[in-house]
Amino acid sequence: MKYTRIAFSSIVKRKLSILLMALQLVVSFWMINHALITIDTLNYQEKQLFSISKMDEYKTVKLTMPDGDDTQWFAERFRQLETYIKSLPEIQGYGSFNTTSIVPQDFPKWQKYQQRNKQLYAGTRREDDIESSGIIYFDYDIYRLFTKFVVIKGRMLEEADFQKENNDVIPVLVGYDYRDVFRIGDRFKAEAGAGEKTIKVTYEVVGILEKGSRWLSGNDYFVSPADNLDHFFVAPFFPEQREGRPISVAVRLHNTFIQLHSEKQFKDVKVAIMKKGKELGISPVLQTVRKDVDAYQENTRKSNHYALAIGTFFLIVTLIGVISVTISSIRARKYEFGVMMVTGASKRDISFMLIMELFFLIGISAVIGVIVSYLTEVNNDFLGYNIRLEAFTWWLYGKVAIIAIFIILFSAIIPLWNIKKLELRELVEGRE
């Protein structure tokens, strides 16, 4: 404890050099933390995709249309392409999902519903939109092949539910947060469509989703964080939602998938669909989910390597700086060490004191660097949610701690060697 107090006292006396060194260390840990987050985020995104969905990375194919738009001309041709895709014997399933919002009306507990939303949306971008909730519409094949969520009350959606017309009652699953707002069998109404095609749809609650249910984001099924369905509705597509307007077709193109019976069929299916698309004057692009994920990770890996290179550079510069300052400190404090040895301190005690100083300096800098990195990510919320925040786990903190320990040990080697060579006569000569 005595030498710990001496170490802290020495740090205070050398506050300017310590402050400059700490600043360099904080910047280094911020850069290192940024690189580690980038790596962890890529791993998290892939883990998320396959943990909340039953997509097979090689048999599931993402269908995109680079030339897709919201014109009637394109919508008609794309519907013909869909009919062709469904007729192929290699296809096990085909469909889309779409995430949008809904404003429930005409149900008994609408005031309680708004109060619940006020609580759920507090402090978010939706705090002024308490009359609406998110809703995810599914095609039957996507729902039966890929979803994992279950209900705690009522029933799941069935094949017949996906064959409803606009004037039918549409079954809906309700998120866990609304379990005391809606009961099984409750009905509510909501508008669908826009302009002259707006219709009033009646929904009936058939199930309450399990707490913590999640599904892929409608913005980007891989890159964006999954939606927590606790305050969502889940329903089947009905004609007005799926094909009522050309814009509906354009929106579904963001999340349209094909499920093959075998991954070996991909090449033949791709050729056939592209050929049909060419006949129709449109340009479908098909890629397995595995290839889609790999392409994104490859593009991101470049920035990841850059961040790692910068972080490593700062780490090396920091090590050199810490070693240089520590050696200079030893030379400047020879008399102090001599007095300590005269009063009974050993070289081991002095070495321990030096390591304590390094541990304190580097440890505090590491903590500040992580905090700065976290605050940077928190403020980077353009879309209202930053998936990189998911990387701030004990696993990340553990890796930062290992790097900090490495810096402490590596930067102490030469200074400790210098202490070992110290002689008492040289330390106190020339001083009274």
DSSP state letters, 40-98: HHHHHHHHHHHHHB---TTTEEEEE-TT--S-HHHHHHHHHHHHHHHH-TTEEEEEEEE
Q: Which one-letter amino acid corresponds to residue 261? A: H
Alpha-carbon distances, residue 378 vs 45, 73, 217, 220 (angstroms): 18, 43, 20, 20
User: Which tokens is 31 given?
Assistant: 């850069």
For the chain, percent of residues with pLDDT exceeding 70: 88
The whole-number pLDDT of residue 382 equals 45
For the chain, percent of residues with pLDDT exceeding 90: 44
DSSP letter, residue 218: S
Q: How far apart are CA 192 and CA 205, in angstroms?
A: 17
The residue-averaged pLDDT of 295-320 equals 76
The dihedral sign for the CA sequence 33, 37, 39, 44: positive
The whole-number pLDDT of residue 430 equals 45
Per-residue pLDDT at 10 exceeds 70: no
Q: How far apart are CA 58 and CA 132, in angstroms?
A: 37
Comparing CA positions, the residue from 111, 120, 131, 123 lying closest to residue 177 is 120
The whole-number pLDDT of residue 16 equals 66
Lowest mean pLDDT among 239-243, 264-268, 314-318, 401-405: 314-318
Q: How far apart are CA 124 and CA 276, in angstroms?
A: 45
The whole-number pLDDT of residue 347 equals 73
The residue-averaged pLDDT of 29-38 equals 81
User: Which tokens is 309 given?
Assistant: 């290179």
Lowest mean pLDDT among 102-111, 187-196, 199-208, 404-413: 187-196
Per-residue pLDDT at 204 exceeds 90: yes
The whole-number pLDDT of residue 319 equals 79
Q: Which one-letter amino acid corresponds to residue 3? A: Y
pLDDT band at 195 (very low <50, low <70, confident <90, very high): low
Q: Who wins on pLDDT, 403 or 306?
A: 403
How much is the mean pLDDT over the chain?
Answer: 85
The residue-averaged pLDDT of 96-122 equals 93
Q: Who wins on pLDDT, 112 or 354?
A: 112
The whole-number pLDDT of residue 203 equals 96
Per-residue pLDDT at 12 exceeds 90: no
pLDDT band at 198 (very low <50, low <70, confident <90, very high): confident
The whole-number pLDDT of residue 63 equals 95
The whole-number pLDDT of residue 388 equals 75
Strands 199-209 and 169-174: parallel
The whole-number pLDDT of residue 224 equals 80
Q: Who wins on pLDDT, 97 or 325?
A: 97
Per-residue pLDDT at 243 exceeds 60: yes
DSSP letter, residue 230: G
Per-residue pLDDT at 431 exceeds 50: no
The whole-number pLDDT of residue 11 equals 59
Q: Who wins on pLDDT, 350 or 293?
A: 293
Q: Who wins on pLDDT, 126 or 153?
A: 153
Per-residue pLDDT at 90 exceeds 50: yes
Per-residue pLDDT at 301 exceeds 80: no
The whole-number pLDDT of residue 73 equals 93
Per-residue pLDDT at 421 exceeds 80: no
Q: How far apart are CA 270 and CA 287, in angstroms?
A: 8
